[in-house]
Amino acid sequence: MTTESRPERRTRRFCTRRIGAAVVTVAVGVATAAAPVRPAAAAAPWLTVSDGFASFAVPADDIRDTMGNVTAVVVEGNFGPSFNLSELGLVRSGDAWTSRIGPLPAGLYHYRLRGDDTKIVKDATNPTAVTSEPTWSTFLVPGDSARLIADVPPGRGGALQTIAYPGGSATVWTPPGYDADRRRPYPVLYLQPGEGGGHADWTELGRAGQILDNLSIQRLMEPMVVVMGDRTDVPALPLVRTVHSRFHVARDGGHRAIAGASAGGASAVRTALTRPGEFAWAGSFGGVVPGGGPRVNAEAVNTSTRLLRLYTGNRTDPAYNPTYRLLLALGKAHVRHEFDGVNPDAGHNWKAWQENLADFVPRLFRAAPGHGPSAGHPPLRHEFTPPAPGTTPTPWLSREANGDTFVTVETGTEFAGAQHVTLWGNWAPGGSWVNVPLTRAGDRWRVTVGPLKPWFYYYKFIVDRVSHKDTSNPSSVTTEPTWSTFLVPGKRARLLADVPAGRGGALERLTYRSTVAAEDREAYVWTPPGYDPARPAQYPVLYLQHGSGQNYTDWVEMGRARQILDNHFRDGALVPMVVVMANGNVPDLSRELLEGIVPAARARYHISHEPHRQALAGLSMGGFQTLDVVRSRPGEFAWIGTFSAGVFGEPTGYDATAINEGTRLLRVYTGNVTDFTYPITMATLDAFDRLGIRYEFAGITPGPHGWDTWQKNLIDFAPRLFRSGDS
């Protein structure tokens, strides 16, 4: 009997398949590679987005035409933790380079393609553009947290126009119902870009037009004119004169505001502090003001300034420490100011600055309802100071007051001459993998990543496209020698954490003869706390199999099977059992089990040979093998679990009657659509329905074809075993 009804399953599958039905947009893009981009008019989109999942499928011919012959292709975009830039690796699959990531948090994303670290290409099939960075394209993932950056209904918003002034250009937003003849001039906000940006950045990346439209419609802001210039310093006099001549705006400092992102924000602060009276309202969005700011006349600033509000992202934001020092300096100088607190979920990027603008604008030219931090923004109580390079083994974990954890890693000096270094790890949505760029720290490379939620993480360095281990981390993975691991503790990861010494089960190695491989092999065996080889009743046993490219060590080193079993047992959630994790790298697991693994385990451990007290489960390849055992030896193992696996094609040779009579639990697990076996699993369930095979579908585990998913599967599966009848 399935645990999920057919209508529910059909709905889930339909939602997933809509990825292929996403709106197709086609346009010619810009590439920095020497070869021209092929005309996009006849091309399928390189990117489709649905339900928060971004799927990339770039024809190999297009890659070759735009980049030449390359061995590695990534999508560089703000997919990483804190919406910081990272690289999503594409895999050559047939005639295309492909990958999928998600579900992405709601927001605006920008991306471009990079080949062999140096060849950068715009998505030629995406018509969006970023004027200051022609290789970028954008896409929007809608959602409640992104409601202020969504388009308003046609005709409801303000107007955007580009104006030229002597020496540059600016984008100007005028509010709905703008009246050039109204009695009172409109107040005006000068909104500055970041270093290297342009006047279009605030609309193309900051979604300023949408933010202002939404705030205006909701009557959360005063009607005002917003001028987005192309310089990070004080608005140029020619720009101000042009705005005065073209728009009905106030000219006095009390009705003028200045703010900006990054360098533009730092300029806004300096202007407010050194030229009091010119702008009575000032905001710095991640502005890096060195040395705690300039010397100021506090009385003059306080007299003429209505609002000076500072913003910063989290520990990954270069403005984090300078903002702390600036706050101290302003307090010491008795300059009135406000601080929005630390944005816990964003770094030095447009995600943070969009939220800053949405908080700042409603405070302008009127009495604000409050002066404290935004909801969920903790205080900034001290600087973030990782150990000096080379002094402390990494990874180095640090924790914020709100419980968020950040990890800092660095390379050794052996990569001092490297050109491109990234950190690959499972910190993308659902445990997917992205590469986070490192920066030079003397003769080393370093990066801080976060916030990371409590869980188990694994990573490696990619140095000029070659994988390397973090040699300062003593953890090891037998089948993946370049990987290192660490655990972020917390309630969410409680079942993955070590139990107190002496309170867990025993983990031993078992040597057995493989008749299939004609060699001696090893298995890991976990026995529960208090295991008694002399007790009258034999223990039930779970045979737990690994995946392709792995061996018996992986469920222990990567799957955290020992910790999961120990913690479940301590919680009283686990029937005392023995768990055997053997080597499944054979063409016939059924024979390997019955001729090698099972006899050896029975000879050494006090375990049952009765089918209703035996379980078999496996991930990926091990799951496929498990189903093959179900087909060839129905009822031999009464408890079955498959993690990210299924049956290729139409199942043949399955005796539904024998399986149903001999199986007490057949529970099927799958990751989400980023798990490449997802369609195989779902097709298998359809086939089982047709054959009349009873099963339970665990639903979709959020995550890809990786350990985050399989750890959750084991956490759910193990407590279900041996709990019915006389087991």
Q: What is the pLDDT of residue 368?
A: 85
Please, what is the angle between helix 707-717 and helix 561-570, to 10°? Answer: 30
Q: What is the pLDDT of residue 401?
A: 78
Per residue, the 3-state secondary structure of 603-622, as one string, reads HHCCECCCHHHEEEEEECHH
In the predicted model, residues of the chain with pLDDT beneath 70 are 1-42, 725-727
Q: What is the pLDDT of residue 725?
A: 53
* Backbone region of residue 649 per phi and psi (left: phi > 0; alpha: psi in -120 to 50; beta: other values): left
Q: Using omega within 30 degrees of 0 as the cis cutoff, is the peptide bond preceding 103 cis?
A: yes
User: For the whole model, what pTM was predicted?
Assistant: 0.91
Pairing mode, if any, of strands 665-670 and 614-619? unpaired
Q: What is the pLDDT of residue 292?
A: 84
What is the distance between the alpha carbons of residues 164 and 225, in angstroms, rounded to a whole number? 16
Token pair listed for 367: 């009495």
What is the distance between the alpha carbons of residues 241 and 199, in angstroms, rounded to a whole number? 17
Q: What is the pLDDT of residue 369?
A: 79
Torsion of CA 625, 626, 629, 630, to 10 degrees: -140
DSSP 261-326: ETHHHHHHHHHHHHSTTS-SEEEEES---GGG-----HHHHHHH-SEEEEEE--TTSTTHHHHHHH
What is the distance between the alpha carbons of residues 306 and 82, in angstroms, rounded to a whole number? 31
Ordered structural domains, the chain, with CATH: 6-142 (2.60.40.10), 147-363 (3.40.50.1820), 396-489 (2.60.40.10), 499-720 (3.40.50.1820)
Q: What is the pLDDT of residue 291?
A: 85
Long-range contacts of 299-302 (CB under 8 A, 24+ apart): 300/276, 301/272, 301/273, 301/276, 301/335, 301/336, 302/334, 302/335, 302/336
Token pair listed for 173: 């937003």
Residue 120 identity: I
What is the distance between the alpha carbons of residues 205 and 219, in angstroms, rounded to a whole number? 24
Pairing mode, if any, of strands 256-261 and 188-192? parallel
What is the distance between the alpha carbons of residues 102 and 115, in angstroms, rounded to a whole number? 22
- Exposure of 609 in the CB half-sphere (CA atoms within 13 A): 9
